[in-house]
Structure 1
Amino acid sequence: MSRPAAPEALTEPTERAGRGWTAALSLANGAIWVGWYGPLQILLALQAAELAPPGTAKESVLAWVTGAGAVVSMVANPLFGALSDRTASRFGRRTPWVLAGVLGGAGALVLLAGAGTLVGMALGWCLVQLTLNAAFAAITAAVPDRVPHGQRGAVGGWLGAAQILGVVAGTGLATVAGGVVAGYLACAGFTVLGALPYVLLHRDPALPAGRRPALRLRALLAGFRISPRRHPDLAWAWLTRFLINLGNALALLYLLYYLRDVLHRPDPDGGVLVLTAVNAVTLLGTVVIGGFWSDRIGRRQPFVLWAGVIMTVATGLLAGWQTWPGALCAAALLGVGFGVFTSVDFALMTQVLPAAADRGKDLGVINIANALPQVAAPVLAAPIVQHLGGYRVLYGVAAAIGLLGALLVRRIRGVA
């Protein structure tokens, strides 16, 4: 007697994802990044400067607020990923969390717009991270649910393109909206509208109620323990992503202050927008091509390695060539490297997942490697800038950390 077929949600996909589905998923992903990076690039820095008490450095205020939000992100992403794995809604495992996350994120951005104290600012940003990570965890898990291995580099490339366009759009909205409050409201509106086509137009494979794992807290928490000994490729891939993202986070955290206090740009807000746009142009030139090329030759490691090396060179420019032309060149090189890294590393990560039933949870654990650098970067950056040599030393440290991450990708054995 043959075993019953596994439900669609728990099988490895074989049919290529369609263009409409990929476009809608990418738009929803970009909308989430608008909700994150309008605040991170511009609005939180301006808010921190306004609300910092006399005698308290704005850098320290920004560091603690963004660090607190990153802690929430680090917990929320795997938690909501695990919950989506267990969701047996007729609308699918992922879609309900995408919708709830973007609606909650938009509401949190509205609350953050009205924050008049540092406590209110910190709580608002933590709520933004909590809710948008629910949506992001579901969107990330939808890729291994629906996309075969040989297409994941390309789909990762389109998601990466949407990510950087979201960063640019968020930065642009925050810059031109006409103030901190208007910037938050504009980002909130875009976050909701961008996710609607995916939520309304595309079917998400449903998990039959009889196949849903029991939602017990002890079992849920135990599932987050992934043994590096049993899954060494996953561990090395996680460490590679963490170190490269940490180097990138150190390079970007104080960009507004770097332009204002080191390069003495007359319009640092506009300078951030220009650098973000330059970065976006070069990133868009490599992110999709890198993913397609990686799919075509069937290899991931060389792309991740050389992307990390290029990003290291770019960060080194910020340390050694502290001029506006130097910043422009660094932004361009960072875009080239991060574009390839974004698409190919994502595809690599989906190929080291232990089990189809836990894709959301496992990708959430992997995504800690995106959030944890946001916690570690302020802890490292603030004392370096204030007491240990300033921005030159900060960017030198960032370059060294990113290079180490790039080299460690060679320790992965199961993915070429």
Structure 2
Amino acid sequence: MPTQRVRATWVLTFSLAVTGMFVGWYGPLQILLAKQADAFSPGDKQGALALVTGVGALFSLIANPLWGALSDRTISRFGRRLPWIAAGTATGVAGLAILAVARDITMMIIGWSLVQTALNAPFAALTAAIPDQVPVAQRGIVGGYFGVAQTVGAAAGASLAVVGGSITGGYLACAGFVLVSVVPYLLIRRDHVLPAALRPAWSWRSFLTGFWISPARHPDFAWAWLTRFLMNLGNAMAVLYLFFYLKDEVGLADPDGGVLILTAVNAATLLITVLVAGAWSDRLGNRRVFVTWSGVIMALAGFLLAGWHSWTGVIVAALILGVGFGAFTSVDFALMTQVLPTDLDRGKDLGVINIANSMPQVLAPAIAAPIVAHAGGYPTLYVASSLFALAGAALVYRIKSVR
């Protein structure tokens, strides 16, 4: 268990690397994949986007815990995590390059699946670096910077997707940022080297069965996982069709620019709350109340989107969603690191937790597409997303070992 506080240099380089991962994911997710789906399959753009993002999320579902578990067992003079950050980033950039030259839905699926698979390696390694190196009393504020990095990455990804000037230019701009973002963190070379004597014994059976963490033996871990899953499912359903919502429901003439503006508005409020909530929860020693109120606030944003179909309404909802998701992002991550079953399997266990991030990306298209097409359209979609957020807000109080 780390006891020495990390320095500002580590926090800043770590945050930049995380920002790069989210540029690689959210530039495509917010704008570029939707534009490609609209271009390649205009008659069924929602279904095409759901297919591409759903298949990619399936790869993410497997990749994150797999890379985390492998990094737990990596013996290298550079450390356990750094080799996976370097290799995964380079491969993810190659996936973005494939998307840049894609000419049909099949190539989109191949490129996006590679991006999801590869970028989960550095993300799993970076996530595990927090419990590796940050003491518990500092995890709220570092979790806040982790949330800031995600927000800045999403905003920067949307910006690069637009200023790239075309679909191809947008992907290449995102790829360049991803590649550069990890260099400072790699150069400081702060990582734990795993002695060969402490390397867990290898067997495929124990490796595969290790991904099952018994809810009966570790109930707080299970409730924390379910809370994160429900909150992220609500959020994923809310943002999946934002481009199409602005274009078809709100009637915005420039949905690309609209997504960019909304991302900036959301980021502005999120950046404030993610740091305030993380530091505040450190001082109070109480995580659950912040998670609960963040779910309530996120649900309010969804209800607004369901009933107020105007550009003004979307702006207000983006502001509110930034407040809620900002508080959730920082405090929930700190909470998660406090319910991990063992120290030696941090990467794998956090990978299992991160399934609660990636699985909603699989399920959101499967749930959202039929709702939009056959069950009431966008109003029903946003009501459903709010209900998932409220369920997560309520269940966090089943966690007993963390206040």
What is aligned with 1:8?
Answer: none
Secondary structure of the residue that 1:262 maps to in structure 2?
helix
Secondary structure of the residue that 1:356 maps to in structure 2?
coil
What is aligned with 1:323?
Answer: 310
What is aligned with 2:387?
Answer: 400
1:366 aligns with 2:387: no
1:301 aligns with 2:292: no
Q: 1-side partners of 2:198 and 2:400: how far apart?
A: 33
1:41 deviates by: 0.5
Q: How does 1:113-262 map to 2 (within 5 A)?
A: 113-262=100-249
Q: 2-side partners of 1:246 and 1:73: how far apart?
A: 15
Q: 1-side partners of 2:80 and 2:217: how far apart?
A: 27
Identity of aligned residues (%): 60
What is aligned with 2:58?
Answer: 71
- Unpaired segments of 5 or more residues in structure 1? 1-11
Q: How does 1:55-134 map to 2 (within 5 A)?
A: 56-134=43-121
1:352 to 339, 342, 346: 339
1:216 deviates by: 2.4
Per-residue CA deviation, residues 116-173 of structure 1 (Å, 9 max, x unaligned), is 1211110110000000001100000000000011110100000110110010000000
Q: 2-side partners of 1:410 and 1:389: how far apart?
A: 33
1:385 to 368, 372, 394: 372
2:5 to 5, 10, 16: 16
Aligned partner letter, 1:320: G
1:48 aligns with 2:37: yes
Per-residue CA deviation, residues 269-313 of structure 1 (Å, 9 max, x unaligned), is 100001110000000011011100000111100000001100011
1:222 deviates by: 1.1
Q: 2-side partners of 1:286 and 1:376: how far apart?
A: 28
1:215 deviates by: 3.1
Asked if the contact 1:312/1:399 (under 8 Å) is kept, the reply is yes
1:209 deviates by: 1.5
Secondary structure of the residue that 2:344 maps to in structure 1?
helix
Q: 1-side partners of 2:379 and 2:36: how far apart?
A: 26
What is aligned with 2:252?
Answer: 265
1:202 deviates by: 3.0
- Unpaired segments of 5 or more residues in structure 2? none
Asked if the contact 2:78/2:189 (under 8 Å) is kept, the reply is no
Q: 1-side partners of 2:60 and 2:307: how far apart?
A: 33
Asked if the contact 1:21/1:202 (under 8 Å) is kept, the reply is no
Aligned partner letter, 1:173: L
Asked if the contact 1:263/1:322 (under 8 Å) is kept, the reply is yes
Q: CA RMSD in A?
A: 0.8
